[in-house]
Amino acid sequence: MEITADTNVLLRFLLNDDHKQAAAASKVLNNASTVAVTLPALCEVVWVLSQGYKMAATDIANAVENLLDSDSIKVNRPAADAGLRLLRAGGDFADGVIAFEGHALGGLVFTSFDKKAIALLKKQGHTTQLLT
């Protein structure tokens, strides 16, 4: 079966905090020939783990990377890796994904009011513009 995994399925699989749902999530993810993991779902997963569960960025990055390394997972890996790089650098996963996808779509300058995102992306070689 080829599936698209919702955020809640990915979270139950990663957290195993509800044993019944975790078992169902594990079963469907492990038995699927293809598991499509969308970038919005990954952004939600990272946000819930950091804000709701107060997990450390390194732990979140490791968990997401382990999930994405599965052979059945299909994801925009370059975009996910951009998010992971920014998360590991102390920034927001979503900002890394946004900068990557924006550049791929022709937006050559990452523009934001977020000073931290601008500084981290600039360090990674992105052209940025801080709005005030």
Q: What pLDDT, on a 0 to 100 scale, did the predictor assign at position 129? A: 98
Q: Residue 71 phi/psi, 5° resolution?
A: -60, -30
Q: What pLDDT, on a 0 to 100 scale, did the predictor assign at position 50? A: 97
Element (H, E) at 61: helix 57-68
Q: What pLDDT, on a 0 to 100 scale, did the predictor assign at position 38? A: 98
pLDDT, tens digit (0-9, with 9 covering 90-100), for 29-49:
999 999 999 999 999 999 999
Q: What pLDDT, on a 0 to 100 scale, did the predictor assign at position 112? A: 98
Indicate the length of the chain as a whole number. 132
Q: What pLDDT, on a 0 to 100 scale, did the predictor assign at position 41? A: 98
